[in-house]
Structure 1
Amino acid sequence: MTERAIDCWLTDMDGVLIREDRALPGAAELIDRWRTQGTPFLVLTNNSIYTPRDLSARLTRIGIEVPEAQLWTSALATAAFLSDQAPGGSAFVIGEAGLTTALHEAGFVMTDVAPDFVVLGETRTYSFEAITKAIRLINDGARFIATNPDVTGPSPEGPLPATGSVAALITAATRRDPYYVGKPNPMMFRSAMNKLGAHSERTGMIGDRMDTDVIAGIEAGLHTVLVLTGIATRADVERYPYRPREILDSISELLQ
């Protein structure tokens, strides 16, 4: 498959393993192979709403057995980044359980009084009051962090505004850009490799997007695999000035 010996894997979730709450071909089998063979791996997602336990349960319901310890979210990556930047710090958080739980477990205090950071994540209930508070705290000196730059998210009814859209609103009001931790920031992959104790030379990244998964994988020095079961098509690849090392129709080809 590749000239590099890949013994550790990072893989995106939506568009690679699942699509609209159904398992994609080969996903369950590949995860089972990695678990049986003891191959280090993590399943990654930019979505910061859910805890690893929530995501593990969701995947189990559709037939993919991923222990919560093998899930790495933008919320966990954000918590790891902030705990390195300001151990035992404080934050005003706009987000849901996935983000608040990660920050609590990293030793952060949630407060709306002179926090070190304003941290913006995904939520289905954005509050005008909370956004106003975030703007005022940033203007007063809090550093602005966002879990990911995605401007929309999927729903059965159609696209929903996501973290990047709300971050743009806050930026317009404060003239402060957030630091985005999630993809396409390669830091998310580096923090995942730190969790696994893996080295970039022997780690592969599987994704379905050129503008997040592939570019971040290249910048992190990983072996990049693009699958065509999600966002990208073969025609899309030609529009970018960079290429993945492999293009597969689906993750099932990694079983061969």
Structure 2
Amino acid sequence: MRTRADIECWLTDMDGVLVHENTPIPGAAELLEQWRDDGTPFLVLTNNSIFTPRDLSARLRSSGLVVPEESIWTSALATADFLASQKPSGTAFVIGEAGLTTALHEAGFIMTETSPDYVVVGETRNYSFEAITKAIRFIGAGSRFIATNPDATGPSTQGVLPATGAISALITKATGKEPYVVGKPNPMMFRSALNRIGAHSENTGMIGDRMDTDVVAGIEAGLHTVLVLTGISDTAEIERYPFRPDEILGSVADLIREEPRESDSPDTQPSLGL
């Protein structure tokens, strides 16, 4: 059976695994440093489609975590990657922010309000009734419906906020059309991440804090799954599901490799007291 010793590449969730409300989780900085020092390929994954990888890299750095922008994979990037494979140089009407529009532009898509090939819904803090109405009309006229992720709510310092899944549900109710959701728990997001770093599922691990997204998608993508208890899921939550991660750890600190002490070295000879 595959064990942690077989893992050569890592995918990890961000919120609840590396940070919690902009505060780094103990052990996260050290684990990231270990991966960089070892040359271990890794990607930090997030369903958040608001920010570009450059934005997220800067936000993590301000929290004390060093993650290069090329080591961040968002649901917006996964969505752009998927759409470019489906219809190169296609057109889209987008409800979302810079993270999503930038990813689609860089994938060769054109933003339009004239018979778009796709309506793409992502997360935004400025949902507009006018934009939602346009999306409903475009989908009714034949545009294909895509959502970056299924999350119904998102966190804020004031409490929960409606997120992509909530807005997608409104559009579904009005059109009768369900979106194709690219982000977690769709294992497609993990497969596109694997392609990004040239990794294979057989030697890649996934670290997450949610059974219903990170773990189930990791299992379906054929990855070694690690659940940490610093985010959403706790031991009671785990029992609700018919599947199990390969490992359950208190935090990412438990993944840090301990360096051998000098006294543990086989080359160290005991003193003879002479």
Q: TM-score, normalised by structure 1?
A: 0.99
Alignment-derived partner of residue 113 in structure 1 = 114
Identity of aligned residues (%): 72
Alpha-carbon distance in structure 2 between the residues aligned to 1:94 and 1:117: 11
Alpha-carbon distance in structure 2 between the residues aligned to 1:238 and 1:45: 25
Structure 1 counterpart of 2:193, which letter? A
Q: How does 1:1-256 map to 2 (within 5 A)?
A: 2=3, 5-256=6-257
Alpha-carbon distance in structure 2 between the residues aligned to 1:147 and 1:174: 18
- 1:238, CA displacement in angstroms? 1.1
Deviation by residue 1:54-107 (Cα, 9 ceiling, x = unmatched): 000000011100000000000000000000000000000000000000000000
Structure 2 counterpart of 1:216, which letter? A
In the alignment, structure 1 segments of 5+ residues that lack a partner are none
Quickly say closer, same or farther: Cα 1:159–1:240, change in 2 above 3 A: same
- 1:239, CA displacement in angstroms? 1.0
Structure 2 counterpart of 1:162, which letter? A
Local SS of the residue matching 2:24: coil
Structure 2 counterpart of 1:152, which letter? T
Local SS of the residue matching 1:44: strand
Alpha-carbon distance in structure 2 between the residues aligned to 1:201 and 1:70: 20
- 1:234, CA displacement in angstroms? 1.1
Deviation by residue 1:199-239 (Cα, 9 ceiling, x = unmatched): 00000000000000000000000000000000000121111
Mapped contact 1:207–1:213 kept (Cα < 8 A):
yes
Alignment-derived partner of residue 260 in structure 2 = none
Mapped contact 1:146–1:167 kept (Cα < 8 A):
yes
Alpha-carbon distance in structure 2 between the residues aligned to 1:241 and 1:227: 18
Alpha-carbon distance in structure 1 between the residues aligned to 2:168 and 2:61: 33
Mapped contact 1:4–1:202 kept (Cα < 8 A):
no
Local SS of the residue matching 1:184: coil
Structure 2 counterpart of 1:240, which letter? Y
Deviation by residue 1:17-49 (Cα, 9 ceiling, x = unmatched): 000110001100101111111100000000000
Greater CA drift, 230-239 or 214-223: 230-239
Local SS of the residue matching 2:240: coil
Mapped contact 2:4–2:224 kept (Cα < 8 A):
no
Local SS of the residue matching 1:72: strand
Local SS of the residue matching 1:77: helix
Structure 2 counterpart of 1:124, which letter? R
Deviation by residue 1:158-204 (Cα, 9 ceiling, x = unmatched): 00000000000000000000000000000000000000111000000
Structure 2 counterpart of 1:45, which letter? T
Alpha-carbon distance in structure 1 between the residues aligned to 2:62 and 2:127: 28
Structure 2 counterpart of 1:149, which letter? P
Q: TM-score, normalised by structure 2?
A: 0.92
Between structure 1 and structure 2, the one with the greater Rg is 2
- 1:2, CA displacement in angstroms? 2.4
Structure 2 counterpart of 1:241, which letter? P
Mapped contact 2:118–2:143 kept (Cα < 8 A):
yes
Alpha-carbon distance in structure 2 between the residues aligned to 1:146 and 1:113: 19
The runs of 4+ residues in structure 1 deviating greater than 3 Å are none
Alpha-carbon distance in structure 1 between the residues aligned to 2:56 and 2:153: 20
Alpha-carbon distance in structure 1 between the residues aligned to 2:227 and 2:172: 32
* RMSD across aligned positions (CA): 0.9
